[in-house]
């Protein structure tokens, strides 16, 4: 029997997420951003969150909406500033949110390391910059490397294209981005998908994230508002 729960509503998918949780949020900008799950977190009320994502929000939706609601204490990301990151910019300048900048490759590898059970790793990226301040530096074969530690999540919120009832996931193009590594690195993985099919309805050769890593699925096709929004 599958351990993955297919949730009938968004509030069920995010139930039990606690104040102070570290949440891994998939998305490269808005590509693959689990906006329905993020909106559900806003309604659910969890606060003092640490958000780990590629960037710090776009416009007024998704992560930006969560930030604007005052629910985020810290952001760990690679690109905190861009043309439409005005919500984060304001909060950061006002001292309302903390920031840890992590080079994008390091971010992906630190999350992957958590999922793979790796205790730490040495990486050359960031050596000689403020990002390596206070970290162990080791010379290996004549090159300096900085010691990096895994980033684990209490929760991962990701978006995929299809899921089957066993939790196997198929992503669509660049919306895949951080989803696969985040799914492995969290205690609770929650996924919003365009559609849920029966187990076996996804060709095993195309499965990217096996269902063993997925705890809850929100089927957007079963939510009228989500269907309307997707169509627009």
Predicted local confidence at residue 225, as pLDDT: 63
DSSP character string of 51-107: EE-SBS-BTTBTHHHHHHTT-EEEEEESB---TT-HHHHHHHHTT-SEEEE--HHHH
- For 212, the domain range is 3-220
**Is residue 203 assigned to a domain?**
yes
Confidence of residue 1 (pLDDT cuts 50, 70, 90): very low
**Is residue 226 assigned to a domain?**
no
> Torsions phi, psi of 128, nearest 5?
80, 5
- The model's pTM is 0.93
15-42: average pLDDT: 95
User: How many other CB atoms sit within 10 Å of the CB of residue 225?
Assistant: 11
Confidence of residue 84 (pLDDT cuts 50, 70, 90): confident
**Is residue 69 assigned to a domain?**
yes
Read off the pLDDT of residues 53-82 as tens digits, 9 standing for 90 and up.
999 998 999 999 999 999 999 999 999 988
Round the average pLDDT of the chain to a whole number and report it.
93
Read off the pLDDT of residues 134-183 as tens digits, 9 standing for 90 and up.
999 999 999 999 999 999 999 999 999 999 999 999 999 999 999 999 99
User: With contact defined as beta carbons under 8 Å apart, do 142 and 10 qualify?
Assistant: no
Confidence of residue 229 (pLDDT cuts 50, 70, 90): very low
**Is residue 231 assigned to a domain?**
no
**Is residue 230 assigned to a domain?**
no
**Is residue 225 assigned to a domain?**
no
Cα separation, 71 vs 73, in Å, equals 7
The total of structural domains in the chain comes to 1
- Percent of the chain residues topping a pLDDT of 70: 95
**Given a cut of 90, is residue 34 above it in pLDDT?**
yes
Cα separation, 166 vs 130, in Å, equals 44
Q: What is the CATH number of the domain that holds 23?
A: 3.40.1080.10
**Is residue 128 assigned to a domain?**
yes
**Is residue 157 assigned to a domain?**
yes
């Amino acid at each position: 029997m599958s351990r993955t729960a297919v949730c009938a509503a968004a509030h069920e998918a995010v139930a039990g997420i606690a104040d102070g949780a570290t949440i891994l949020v998939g998305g490269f900008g808005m590509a693959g951003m689990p906006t329905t799950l993020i909106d559900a977190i806003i309604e659910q009320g969890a606060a003092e969150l640490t958000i780990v994502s590629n960037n710090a929000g776009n416009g007024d939706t998704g992560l930006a909406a969560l930030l604007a609601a005052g629910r985020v204490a810290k952001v760990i990301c690679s690109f905190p500033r861009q043309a439409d990151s005005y919500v984060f910019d304001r909060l950061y300048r006002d001292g309302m949110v903390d920031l840890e900048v992590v080079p994008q490759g390091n971010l992906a590898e630190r999350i992957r390391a958590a999922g793979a059970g790796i205790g730490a790793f040495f990486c050359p990226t960031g050596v000689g910059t403020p990002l390596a301040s206070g970290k162990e530096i080791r010379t290996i074969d004549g090159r300096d490397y900085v010691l990096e530690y895994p980033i684990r999540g209490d929760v991962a919120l990701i978006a995929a294209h299809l899921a089957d009832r066993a939790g196997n996931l198929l992503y669509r193009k660049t919306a895949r981005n951080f989803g696969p590594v985040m799914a492995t690195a969290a205690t609770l993985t929650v996924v919003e998908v365009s559609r849920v099919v029966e187990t076996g309805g996804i060709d095993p050769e195309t499965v990217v994230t096996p269902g063993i890593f997925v705890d809850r699925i929100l089927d957007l096709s079963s939510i009228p508002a989500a269907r309307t929004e997707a169509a627009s």
